[in-house]
Structure formats: C-alpha cells, structure tokens
Structure 1
Amino acid sequence: MKNSNQQQFRFIVILLMAFAVGGMIFSVIEKRNAAGGMSRSRFIQLLSDTNVEEVIISQNSQTPTGSVRIQFKDHSLSQDYYVSDVNSVIHYLEDKNIDYVIKDIEKGNTIADILVPLILTVAAAFFVLMLFQSRSSGASGSKMMNFGKSRARLSNTNKFNFKMVAGLNEEKEELEEVVDFLKNPAKYTALGARIPKGILLVGPPGTGKTLLAKAVAGEAKVPFFSISGSDFVEMFVGVGASRVRDLFEDAKRHAPCIIFIDEIDAVARHRGSGLGGSHDEREQTLNQLLVEMDGFGVNEGIIIMAATNRPDILDNAILRPGRFDRKITVSRPDIGGREEILKIHSKDKPLGSDIDIHEVAKGTSGFTGADLENLLNEAAILTAKSGRQFISKNDIDESYIKVGIGREKKSRIISEKERKITAYHEAGHAILFRQLPDVGPVHTISIIPTGMGAAGYTMPKPGEDEMFNSKNRLLDNIVVALGGRIAEEIKFNDITTGASSDIKQATMTARAMVMRYGMSEKLGFINYEGEEEILVSRDFGHEKIYSEKTSAMIDEEVRNIMETCYKKAKDIITRHIDVLEKCADLLLEKEKIGYEEFEALFDD
C-alpha cells in the first residue's frame, strides 16, 4: 500500500511538472503572438505614416528574432511587431530611408522571463504536493490521497474490560468464549472447533453494544478496528467497496483482531430496495463486504462484530452461517442491571446520604445504560449549579423529569385561564391514576410548562419491571389518557386542543389491541398488521392483507373501545368531582404537588 501511494505521488508530481512547463511555453508563445498581433501589410502601412517619430528594434545579438516598436509623434499608443528575421526589417527601413535604433536584449531577460517563473512554478507544485502527502499520511481518511482508503480507527481498548459492562451477564457469557479463542486459539483448533466469524449485536440505542465490543477486545488484548456503516457509503460508486477491501487488508496484517462496524444497517440493507429499485454504491459495498467475509479462512483470528437496532432490514445473505454466525440480543437492563450500572456511573460522583441506589434503579424502569448515565450527569450538573458538594435525592428527581419530560419552564408567562384549564386537565388524569387498579399511583402533578411543549404533566410512580401488558392494563391506560379531556368538558362545558396527544396515544393503543394483540372478541386473535415497509421493494409503505369489510370492523372495534373507556373515565371523575375541584385549586396555588398532598385530598 505504501508503494502504491508513492507511485501515485510520483505520477502527480510528473503530471504537474508537465503542466508547468507547458504553461510556460504557452505563455511565451502567447506573449510573442500578442507582440505580433498585426499583419505585415498593416506594419508596412504604419511605417509609411508621416506621423512616425522613431522605430526601435529590440534584438538578441545571438538570435535573428526580435521585435519592432513604432513610436508616433503625437504620442499615441506605440505598436509592437514581432519578427523572425530582424535583418529583413532593417533592409526594408534602409530602402525607405526610415530612421531606426537597434537595442540589444540582455541575456538575463530570457532567464528572468522564462526560467525563473518555471522554477518557481515547479517549486510551488512540490510544496503543495508535500503538504498533501504529509496530511494524507495521518489518521484522517478524508484527504485527497486517501479517498478510497478505510476510515476505520485503530483504538486502544486496554482500559476496557467486562467489569465495565454492567447488567449484561448473559451477553458477556456468550462472548467469553470469543475472548478465550483470541487468547488460546490452539485449544479450539485442536478439536476442529470453528469460532464465529461474525457476531451481530442487536438492541435498542444506548444499551451498551459498542461498549460490549470494546470490552471483548480489551479482555483479549487484541487490536480493535471501529468504523460506522455510513463511513463506507459515498456518492461515487466503488469508493465503499475500496474501503472495505482496505479495511480487511489492515485487519489481516494485525490479526488476531476485532473489526467493529457500528450501525451496519446503513450499508447492509436488503439489496434491491430503494425508490429506483437499487442503490448501486451501497449494494456494491455490501457485495464487497460479503466477499471479504468469505475471503479469510476459518480461525484466522479476525472476528467481525457489528451493531444495529434494525435487524429486520438487513440482507439475508449477511446473516447466514459463515458470515454473521451468531446474533446476541442486548436488551434493556432489569432492576438488578440498572443498579449495577448506576453504581459504575456514580463512582466519581459524591452522592448524598438520602440517595438509595436501589430505589433509583427501581424508579427508572425502561432506562438504558446511556439513559442512566445521562440521569446522573444531569443531577451532577444541577448540584454544581447550586454550589453544593453532594448530589441529593431532589437533584435525581428533577433530573428524571428533565430527561423524561423536559426541563420545566418556570419563567414562562401563561394566562390565568390557561393555568386553570391545565390544573383541571392534570387533576382529571391524577384521579384516574389513583382509582384504576392496573396503573400506578400518582408521584407528581404539575402545571408548570415543560421543554417538550406540554402545559403540565402527571407522573405516576414507577412500577415493577414487566415483560407483558395485560388487556386490563391497556384499557386502564386508555381511560387515564382520556381523563384530561373529560375534566375540561365537565368543568368548562368546552374542550381544548390540549388533549390531542392523549387522544392520539389512546387511539394507537386501542388499534394495537385490535390489530396486533388479538384482544378483540369480535375479530378474534388474528394479526391484521401485515408487512409495514414494502411499498417500493420493502423500502417504505404498508401492505393491506385484509378486506375492506374487515377494515370497517377494525374501525368499529377501535371506536367501541374508545367509547367504553370514555364512559368509564367520565363516571369515575364525576363521582370524585369534589377531589377534582380541590386538586385543581391546590395546583393553582402551588403549581406542583406530590403523592402525600394528593392522597390527603381523598381523606377529607
């Protein structure tokens, strides 16, 4: 590869030198042509003019060429005429009795006019090329000389190990054999065992897929090449394929090693997809990746790890055995995993005595590792802004709201009418949260606007980790979502647009119950969703796999669910109209209330 770069460098140097010499020759010719731009007849005509004052002949004594300048008595523009034979002009002037003066051109003028600019041009070309060469030899792959070279970064992973990866015990167990193979390959090859060539890490964003790959390299003490799938694809067809080839050439020189491709779905999507039926650059890159994965032998010590959160759009050819042999699902951590992750990210953060890591883990159901790290970081920022030395429970709670709902905009000015509407709206949600058995009790109610555009919020207490949603729980969620609209209707005999997101979420839940979960008694347990992304070669759009009659039945069932939940929500709020009034009044007074204050309203 080094020799190839040197050859390219030499070729460009020679090419630029040729351009420089050609440019100088062209400029001399142009200069001479400019001097001799007039015809010979025109030159003779000017010499016959009585207005001619003097004729000056400039000649290099060693050559017959030169130029003739005609100066006029009225000081009009002088005229130059280039001649290849000065002697013929002199004879003509003598025959016509025209005075002339001969001036020799100094030899230094030729050097100054031709050689000096030529030398300066070549020197400038060398300087520019050396500048590009020095930059292209660095780590950046985006320079001119490295346009088709791999952009993979060779990272130092010595500081990473499995102890840094919390909450992924089963995933680490699957990867420990890969680490053992990289350390002791002879133990496996002696028994004819074949270690996986490729390992695909699948999971939601922020669950630790990249960290897991780095930990494998760190445990095995092997080089780690990392690159994003989007780094392969360029506008020019063939560039991505060239980068794939270069990446595998580097990997073979550093074997045993690990190649990590993040967001591999950017380059390994289904072939033949796209608006025009194909994407030549991406497909050529994928084809080259498939060839390279087949190109190195079993147990050569190169292991490819890739990460994606969209395994459904990957091409089947890359998922077959012999390429990506193993798929590891990296899921969101459970309460034990969240507690371990919080302990790791809180090591360098001074926590107050009122913080219980277990309670924080319990209250962050559904959070990924990245979410938990962000939660503690936001809490530390709030503590530093307040000038305190230790992070408190209130900092964690405020950060939870900021991360999940958006920062509260306490300075925002809203009218008293809007504050009152928001107070009754949130009170309606809160009453239903308390009275329904399958949704959690209220944790916080607020009428302070948030950064996500909400006029207020009602936050339930986090529940336990659950893998499934029951039909009753889904129905209760719909009932709760309709509580704000119903409270506005009861109190003001009018409705606003504030419940639009609630209605949208409730409708989506009801439609999913009918079409996806088979929870409709009328339509039975049949999935009516079909393929979702297939309009143009599985690129986007929806497929309808049921009749128009069934479609009408689905709409009717969704409407029945919404109407039933609406009646239930209105009945509960009507029976607790006194709590609705008291809760709204308390919110208008304090703007935010907690669990104890809300529960006290039911004891009166």
Structure 2
Amino acid sequence: MKNNKRRSFSLGYILLFFAIVYLAQMFFSPKAEEVSYSQFRLYLKNGYISECTVGQNIIRGYYKKLSAEGGEEDKIAFFTVPIQDQALVNELEEQKVRFKGAPENNFLKSMIMWWIIPFGVMTLVWFLLLKKFSGMGSPFMSFGKAKVKLYSDNGTQKITFADVAGCDEAKEELKEIKDFLAYPDRFQKLGGKIPKGVLLIGSPGTGKTLLAKAVAGEAGVHFFSISGSDFVEMFVGMGAARVRDMFEQAKEKAPCIVFIDEIDSVGRQRGAGLGGGHDEREQTLNQLLAEMDGFNSQKGIIIIAATNRPDVLDNALLRPGRFDRQITIDRPDLSGREAVLAVHAKSVKIDPDVSFKTIAKRTPGFTGADLANVINESALLAARHNKNSVGMEDLEAAIDRVLAGPERKSRIMSEAEKKTVAIHESGHTLIAAMLPKTDPVHKVSIIPRGTAALGYTMQLPIEDKYLTTESELLENICVLLGGRAAEEIILDEISTGAQNDIEKVSKLARNYVCRFGMSKKIGPQTFGRQSGNIFLGHDLVQEKEYSEKTAVTIDEEVTKIINECYEKSRKLIQDNRGKLNVLIKKLEECEVLDGEQVLELLNLKKKDISLSGDKE
C-alpha cells in the first residue's frame, strides 16, 4: 500500500515537472517575428537593424519599426534563416550593426543544460523531502497518522503507584487493570472480561494523567498517550484516519495502554451543534466508537480516557462495552494532602522542622497540582533568599502566593486608602473571630496581592468538611458583610472594596433559597434547572420552572436574608468598636497579623472549628 502511494506521488511529480517546463517555454521564451532573408537584407540596407546574432543556421536580432507618424517604436525581435552570403559581414560593418557569431547548436549540451540538470536537481530535492516528511508529526506526509506519544518501559523515569498520592480509592480500582495486563491468565481462566475502557473523571490537577502512567509503569507495558484535540483536523476525514492509525499502532504493541487526555474535545454529544449533525468531530467520534467495538480486550489493549467535563460526553461512549468503568478522582482530603506534599517534596531539601500535616491543614481544597506548585514556589522563594533548605515560612509564603497571588510591592497606596483597607479587613476579622460557627482566622493582611486584591482575610478549617449547616451558612454571609459594615460605621461611608464580598453574598443567599431549600417562607424546594457549564448547542434555552409571583417571593427572601445578616454584622461591630479600633491600629502598623495575634488583641480563646478565604 505504501509503495503504491509513493509511486503515485512520483508519477505526479514527473507530470508536474514536464508541465512546468512546457509552461515556462510557452510563457517565458521571448517572442520573435520570422522574416524572410530578403526582407532582412532590406531592413539592413535601410538601417533598421540594431543588433543581431549570426549563427550557422539562424540569425536572431532586433529591428526598429517606424510608426505611421514617423516616430520610432520599440525594438522588435526577429529571426531568419540565412543563405550563403559573403557580402553580409561587410554590409553589417558598413551599417554599424552590432553583431556576433553563434556557436553550432549542440543537441547533447542543450539536453544537459535545459533538461537533465534541472530534472536531477528536482529529483534530489523531491527524495530528500520525501524522506524528511515521512517521519512522525510531519505536516505533509502524515496527515492520517495519529500523533501518539509512545512511552516504553525502558527502566528510566518509571512512574508507579508510589508516585501517586491522595487518591487511594482510584488506585485500588486501577490495580485491577494493572493485574490484568501483568497476569492476564489469572482472569481468562475464569472467563472474566476486563473492562475495555476506563474513564477518569476529576477536576483539573487531580492527577488523572499521572494515574494512567502509573498503571502502565506498574504493569510494565507500552503506554500510548494522545490528546483528544489531536484527532480534530481542518481536513475532512483526517480525525477518523488518525483514530484508525492509533488502534493499528496499539495492536502492534499489545499488551498496552492507550491514554486519551481531554476526551471531551472529541467525544461531545452528537447532534449538539447548531450547524448540522455530520461534522468532522462527529465522524471522528463515530470512528472511535466503531474501533472500541471492534477490538477484544483479551488482546491486552486497555483504553483509559480523562475528562473534567463528563456532562458533555456522548452517551454511546459511556455505555457498557465502551468505557465500562468510570472512576472519579476527588480533591485530596487532609491525609491525602499530607501524602501528596511528601511525594512532591522528595526532590526538594526540606527543613526538618517543617510539618506537612500543618501545611495540609492550611491548604483545604487544593489539588495535587496546586500542592506541587506550593512545594515548587517555596523552593524558589528559599533559593531567592540564599537558604540551604526550605523552611516553614517559605511554605507559608508559597501558600499565600498560590491563593492570593504575588505581593504587589510596587503598588503604593495613600494613607487614606491604606486605612480604608485596614478597616475593611478588620471588620471581616472581628466578625469571623466572634461568631461561634465560623472557621478560625489564620491570617489577615493589607499588603496588595495579585491583580485586584488590596488585602485579604484568610480563614482555614481545622478539619475537612463536606456539609454546611444553615447557621454556618448565615454566619459566613455575616463575615463577608463585616468589611462593608465596618467601613460604614467607622468612616460613615462605603467604598468599592466590598465588590467581591457582595458577589459572594448574593450567590450564597440565592443558593440558600433556591438550591438548599432553607427558606422558611418558601419551604424545601429548588428553583431553576441546575445544569453544568453551557456549551454550544446544549442547554442554550433554560426553562423557567416557576411563576413570576414565585420569582418575586424568591427575590424578597434573598433580600431579607442579606439585610438581616448585614444588621447582625453592624450590631456586632458597634458593640465591639473598641476591639475593632485596636485591631485596625495594629494592622496599620504591622500590615500582616496571624491568627494568634488576632485572638490576643481581641482577648478571645482559640476556636475548635473552621471556613474559607476571603479576598478583596
């Protein structure tokens, strides 16, 4: 098949070469007028000939032609066939015509100069290009080849389950896949069939790709990796061709694992496009479905795919026989974060006093990628200060950098703005410290960070929480409104610094009524369809599931909740204005206060509970 394709390309090349030569001779050869020899002698006698080349068989040159008005026109090329004429040279000299002799026409030399040399040069260039473009990843000869990366078990940089932490349940599920690839006879003798495909579902950064590589590393088999977007091409049919080629390569290397990252880019629900159903992406998906039906998992080919958008995948991909097993990879919990930190810190010099358990407590909601970034940032910060190892203060600074962005030391605030930010953050801090069911304050700062944060109050939970009670939700709203309330009470006016707080408050209050069914007036009901992110052609129109009267009631309840929480925050600040003033003054002096300093200034005891960070 490949030889036939190469012969077709070579034949096309030869035809193209001759066509170019023919067109070049047609369009670029000079046009010359044929004249008789007697007419040539007449032009010569009258002085019209300006120059010529006299050959043994032909005379070429230019003559001047007079126009009707008597003016001289441009020179016109001509040629004529001479006869034996001994007086021609003398007459050319008499008329002062520039002339020269032409060598005899050598057919062999003409062939070499005009045909063989150009043909040889083009042939050499053609085969060099053919050799170069035959490689993987070339844009010329490999449109239909899958852009897969093959990782073989060569003993170097081998990734195993020991390199993956924080997702023990997912590892247990995938160990069965590893066992099948390593010991297929154990399953085949009982007649069991291993799943053809495994779909890894999880937020970005939770370690889906790392888990797939660990399975291949544990089983000691070939590992093919490709992104879903690599299948989609501007040329029709290329995506389907690449799917076929990928499975052909996998069959040659079986047993192996084929990993398709971001499969949602090619596996989206069919018929969801607005411009018709038969597009290139759908052809690619159809070919993928056909290939998954066409191979037998007993051959030792396992398809592992990863996505963070399972809601947009086509149902045909998720049915048994395709991606039989779906494994959800959550963000790591407290013990998982501690294990992830230990894994990523293996290659970093860590101070013996560093407690990964403490760092894990201060990073709730972080993914494995976030924690790896914290370790890396801390190492960079330590190197910047010429330290020999990474200390606790470097890890703390790295967490702040990841959460709120780098410090903006170049942003100079006026004294009035600095005082306003201190009042605002002190309001958050006071409410968070005094309400019983909020998370303890970890740090408060008025140093600008990131693109928009002029200050922040960070609250961290003591332990992982998976449920939020009604009272905790309302107290969280009070904390968010504490900054605005402090500005209004101390300054007697408000600023734009509470913009982010108000957005969060509005969302929490509406969820309180519409999603959680906590409103006493409306009761345990949900309002509005809760769909995922909107993508083209899917959920473009959202049905309104409640009347206008109910919508007014919802708005009234949301407004009532926000106003009640705001009044509660105002009262707490007014009753403890002295403590607030102490906190404001100290914050202006130090710019950063930790949780213990806040409790000491407010004369409060340490809490045993938890919350999330707030940024301006």
Matches within 5 A, 1:123-162: 123-139=120-136, 141-156=137-152, 158=155, 159-162=158-161
After superposition, give the CA deviation of every residue in 1:221-249 in whole Å (9 maximum; x if it has no partner): 11111011111112222111111111011
Partners of 1:531 and 1:543 within 8 A in 2: no
Moved more, 279-288 or 183-192: 183-192
Offset at residue 523 of structure 1 (A):
2.1
CA positional deviation for 1:23? 2.3
What's the CA shift for 1:455? 0.7
The aligned amino acid for 2:325 is R
Match status 1:321 vs 2:317: no
Q: Report percent identity of matched pairs.
A: 44
Following superposition, the deviation at residue 377 of structure 1 comes to 0.7
Q: Superposition pairs for residues 453-472 of structure 1, below 5 Å?
A: 453-472=452-471
1:283 aligns with 2:282: yes
Matched residues in 1 for 2:63 and 2:537: separation? 80
CA distance in 2, matches of 1:44, 1:137: 59
Aligned residue number for residue 428 of structure 1: 427
Which 5+ residue runs of structure 2 have no aligned equivalent? 67-71, 605-616
Alpha-carbon shift at residue 41 of structure 1 (Å): 13
Query: How far apart, in 2, do the equivalents of 1:56 and 1:414 lie?
Result: 87
CA contact (8 A) 2:65 2:74 kept: no
Q: CA deviation at 1:260?
A: 0.3
**2:411 matches 1:412:** yes
Number of aligned residues: 588
CA distance in 1, matches of 2:38, 2:536: 73
Aligned to 1:23: 20
Quick check: 325-334 or 456-465, which moved more? 456-465
Q: After alignment, is 345-354 or 441-450 more displaced?
A: 345-354
| 1:155 Cα offset (Å) | 1.4
1:32/1:426 CA distance change after superposition, 3 Å = closer
Q: 1:117 to 1:580 in 2, by over 3 A?
A: farther
C-alpha spacing 1:431/1:25, structure 2 compared with 1 (3 Å) = same
Secondary structure in 2 matching 1:444: strand
CA deviation map 1:489-511 (0-9, x unaligned): 11111111110110001111111
Counterpart code for 1:550: T
Report the CA distance shift for 1:467/1:149 in structure 2 as closer, same or farther (over 3 A). Answer: same
Q: Which stretch of the first structure deviates more once superposed, 48-57 or 378-387?
A: 48-57
Give me the whole-angstrom Cα distance separating, in 1, the residues matched to 2:245 and 2:296: 17
Residue number in structure 1 paired with 2:5: 8
CA separation of 1:578/1:326 partners in 2, compared to 1, >3 Å: closer, same or farther?
same
User: After the TM superposition, which of the residue ranges 258-267 and 364-373 deviates more from structure 2?
Assistant: 364-373
Q: Give the corresponding residue for 1:602.
A: 602
Q: Which amino acid aligns with 1:380?
A: A
Sort the Cα spacing of 1:40 and 1:464 in 2 relative to 1 into closer, same or farther, 3 A. farther
Distance 1:72 1:517, change over 3 A: closer
Contact 1:277-1:537 within 8 A present in 2 as well: no
What's the counterpart of residue 203 of structure 1?
202
Contact 1:196/1:322 (CA < 8 Å) preserved in 2?
yes
Do the aligned partners of 1:24 and 1:114 also contact (CA within 8 Å) in 2? no
The letter of the residue matching 1:69 is: G
How far, CA to CA, are the matches of 1:390 and 1:602 in structure 2? 36
The alignment partner of 2:346 has SS state of coil
**8 Å Cα contact 1:273-1:279 kept in structure 2:** no
Distance in 1 of aligned mates of 2:64 and 2:561? 105
Query: Does the Cα contact within 8 Å between 1:245 and 1:288 map onto a contact in 2?
Result: yes
What residue identity is the alignment partner of 2:197?
G
User: Secondary structure at the residue paired with 1:573?
Assistant: helix
In the other structure, the counterpart of 1:35 is 32
TM-score scaled by length of structure 1: 0.90
Map 1:224-239 → 2, pairs under 5 A: 224-239=223-238
1: distance between equivalents of 2:38 and 2:299?
A: 83
Q: How far off is 1:291 after superposition?
A: 0.6
Q: How much has 1:349 moved relative to structure 2?
A: 1.6
Pick which of 358-367 and 562-571 moved more: 358-367
TM-score, normalized by length of structure 2? 0.88
Correspondences of 1:143-542 after superposition (within 5 Å)? 143-156=139-152, 158=155, 159-278=158-277, 280-532=279-531, 537-538=537-538, 540=540, 542=542
Question: What's the counterpart of residue 50 of structure 1?
Answer: 46
Residue number in structure 2 paired with 1:107? 105
Matched-pair contact (CA < 8 Å) for 2:53–2:60:
yes
**Which residue identity lines up with residue 139 of structure 2 in the other structure?**
K
Single out whichever of 478-487 and 120-129 deviates more from structure 2.
120-129
Within 2, Cα distance between the matches of 1:54 and 1:308? 80
Deviation at 1:457, TM superposition (A): 0.7
Distance 1:530 1:118 in 2: 74
Q: Closer, same or farther in 2 for the Cα pair 1:498/1:438, shift >3 Å?
A: same
Residues 89-136 of structure 1: CA distance to partner in whole angstroms, max 9, x if unpaired? 889x99xx999999554334x556554243343334334333433333
Instruction: Give the Cα separation in 2 of the matches to 1:42 and 1:402.
Output: 96
Residue equivalent to 2:570: 570
Per-residue deviation, residues 490-537 of structure 1 (Å, max 9, x unmatched): 111111111011000111111112111221222222222315367963
Superposition RMSD in Å: 3.0
Segment of structure 1 superposing worse, 314-323 or 512-521: 512-521
Name the SS for the 1:464 alignment partner. Answer: coil
1:347 is paired with a residue whose SS is helix
Deviations 1:459-513 (A, max 9, x none): 1233311111222221111111111111111111111111011000111111112
Q: 2:77 aligns with which of 66, 76, 80?
A: 80
Deviation at 1:442, TM superposition (A): 1.4
